Amino acid sequence: MVSPAIRVPPSAANRALNLLRTVQYTHPPSCPCHGNPSHHHHHRSPTLSDHVRRHMATPVDPSRQKEYAFEMAASSIRFGPGATKEVGMDFANMRAKRVCIVTDKNVAKLDAMKQAVEGLSREGIEFTVFDKVRVEPKDYSIKEAIAFAQPYKPDAFLAVGGGSVIDTAKLMNLYNTYPEADFLDFVNAPLGKGLPVDRALKPLVAVPTTAGTGSETTGTAIFDLVSKKAKTGIAHRNLKPTLGICDPINTRTMPSAVHASSGLDVLCHSLESWTAIPYNERTPRPTNPINRPAYQGANPISDIFSLQALRSTVKYLPRAVRDPGDSEAQEQMLLAATLAGVGFGNAGVHLCHGMSYPISSQNPGYKHAGYDVDHPIIPHGVSVAVTAPAVFRFTAASNPDRHLAAAEAFGVDISTVKRESAGEVLGEALARFLSDLGDQPRGLKDLGFKASDVEGLVEGTIPQKRVLMLSPNLSQELEAEKAELRGLLEQSLDY
């Protein structure tokens, strides 16, 4: 593993290069060379020669500097059937003495919780259980959870559940480390202040019981900010769990409908992160690395995860939905959810997710089949997938090759497809995939939306800046952006 770090004396060429570098790094406080808007490098990393070339260009407005680096961070992931029972030893190894277990009323009854509780008990670790996580959390449900943890003073957290549980646990951990903070301090801008997480949080182990959110690997937590009538969240890589324990036994309790909708979330995580703008097209470049967003645009490492997750989802989701006894498919979907989590957790999502938030919250009264709840519900995965055919038809022009590669993942023979047709072909493949999956709406109309609801959905999407900024092909000017969103939502009414 060890390579020698031997160096030869600098040649004349090296000396010249060193000189160039010296020049380059004397621009205080940091090199402004990445902001020249005349340089567009689609899905190519900037190279030193680009770097040097840019320096020879005229100075540019620093506020328009483009990003020049990306950062990959993910929780450690342990994967294996039965691995849940190891969690007590993990906390013992971390020397945790008081653990706050976070779950919801339904998961509390499942075997995953039994294994977790037995694991902690076996190690003699004290714990308390908060089982009041709200599915699709709201700010007040999160604040209640935070208040629960405060007097207990846990030295570690354990989340057992789906994305809502894991997201809530992340925020219990965050605000217990910043007891003096205002709730909005960390909430994504522009709704909140979007402050970075600059203190070390307590260890958090996440045990997912759904194969969808990938929350066990990411630094993102999503909730409704009731006062602003907006779905938003808190996102910083330092919020990510210490360890995700992905135990395929735990996802076998998902009903088929939950398999389908959480799998559609995986599908969109992978497709959106794969097609998000490249990291080096994002502006502005952070002046401090702690401000580099987790949702930073597609990059060469997130790409690997996103494409692999897409391929697995296309292959295994239909099997997992069709046959709850297909343990290979269930296991592969849990893995795909985690891989997609690493992908979008470091690249971001864009239009499907941006529009899904108002679609879910402005639900005209739709209740998805197979969901045993006493109120209307458009599952998150359904609300992201319903616009997907229109979205990828629209974004394809930004990078036809990536959209063709995605179509190929759906089994399309792309050898004879023209690049201009990439969007059409991918949109069609997606529509067919959704239709073949069964029990999926064929557009917003099936969810009860009318043409007259589109304007409200457009208005509800506009505040989702954090994801919209990663949308390829979307106009930056407000009215043009609205017109584009309107077009996407209208095309998504039925298909």
Q: Which residues contact 474 (CB under 8 A, 6 or more apart)?
A: 350, 351, 468, 481, 484
Give 70 or 127: the residue with its C-beta nearer to its own copies: 70
Name the residue among 464, 463, 442, 453 with its Cα closest to residue 486: 453
Q: What is the dihedral of CA 480, 282, 423, 486, to 10 degrees?
A: -30
Ranges of H-type helices in 276-350? 300-322, 327-347
Size of the site for its own copies (CB under 8 A): 119
Residue 195 CB, shortest distance to its own copies, in Å, is 12
Quickly list H helices, 205-296.
256-275
Is the CB of 268 or the CB of 422 nearer to its own copies?
A: 268
What are the beta bridge partners of residue 245? Answer: 78
CB closer to its own copies, 305 vs 392: 305
x/- string (CB under 8 A) for its own copies, residues 342-381?
--x----x---x----------------xxxx---x-xxx
- With CB under 8 A as the contact rule, the residue among 139, 331, 408, 428 that binds its own copies is 331
Q: Which is nearer to its own copies, 146 or 493 (CB)?
A: 146
Q: Report the residue number, 370 or 487, with the smaller CB distance to its own copies.
A: 370
Q: How far is the CB of 347 from its own copies (least distance, A)?
A: 13
Provide, rounded to whole angstroms, the least separation between the CB of residue 435 and its own copies. Answer: 21
State in angstroms the smallest separation of the CB of 167 from its own copies: 6
Question: In angstroms, what is the minimal distance from the CB of 447 to its own copies?
Answer: 16
Footprint of its own copies on 5-44 (CB under 8 A) = 5-10, 13-14, 17-18, 21-22, 24-25, 29-31
Q: At closest approach, how far in Å is the CB of 261 from its own copies?
A: 7
Burial 309-331 (b: 16+ CB within 10 A, else e): bbbbbbbbbbebbeeeebeebbb
Residue with tokens 């005349």: 38
Is 386:444 a contact under the CB 8 Å cutoff? yes
Nearer to its own copies, 434 or 493 (CB): 434
CB of 180 to its own copies, least distance (A): 17
Whole-number minimum distance, CB 115 to its own copies, in Å?
7
Question: Which residues in the 229-288 window bind its own copies by CB under 8 A?
Answer: 233, 237, 248-249, 252-255, 258, 261-262, 265, 269, 288
Among 120, 195, 222, 406, binds its own copies (CB under 8 A): 222
Q: Token pair 């689609």 is at which residue?
A: 42
Q: What 3-state DSSP class applies to 299?
A: coil
Residue 90 in contact with its own copies, rule: CB under 8 A: yes
Radius of gyration of the chain (CA): 23
Joined together, the tokens standing for residue 192 give 């909140």
Q: Determine which residue in the list 60, 96, 99, 107 makes contact with its own copies, applying CB under 8 A.
A: 107
Exposed, middle or buried by CB within 10 Å (0-12, 13-18, 19+), for 90?
A: buried
Applying CB under 8 A, which part among 214-222, 388-396, 433-441, 483-491 lies near its own copies?
214-222
- Centre a 10 Å sphere on the Cβ of residue 113 and count the other Cβ atoms it contains: 24
Contact 121, 113 (CB under 8 A): no
Work out whether 328 is an interface residue with its own copies (CB under 8 A): yes
Measured CA to CA, the distance from residue 170 to residue 162 in angstroms comes to 13
Which tokens hold the place of 200? 């070390």
Q: Of the listed pieces 68-76, 143-151, 416-424, 480-488, which binds its own copies according to CB under 8 A?
A: 68-76
Choice from 48, 57, 189, 451 touching its own copies (CB under 8 A) = 48
Structure tokens at 129: 């259980």
Q: Round to whole Å and give the CA distance between 337 and 357.
A: 20
Strand partners, 102: 130, 159
Work out how close the CB of 235 gets to its own copies at its nearest, in angstroms, rounded to a whole number.
9
Q: Which of 16, 181, 304, 451 binds its own copies (CB under 8 A)?
A: 304
Whether 263 contacts 254, CB under 8 Å: no
CB of 265 to its own copies, least distance (A): 5
323 near its own copies, rule: CB under 8 A: no
Within 13 Å and on the Cβ side, how many CA atoms surround 292? 18
Give, as ranges, the residues between 119 and 178 that touch its own copies (CB under 8 A).
122, 133, 135-137, 161-165, 167
Report the site for its own copies in 427-456 (rule: CB under 8 A). none
DSSP SS3 for 320: helix
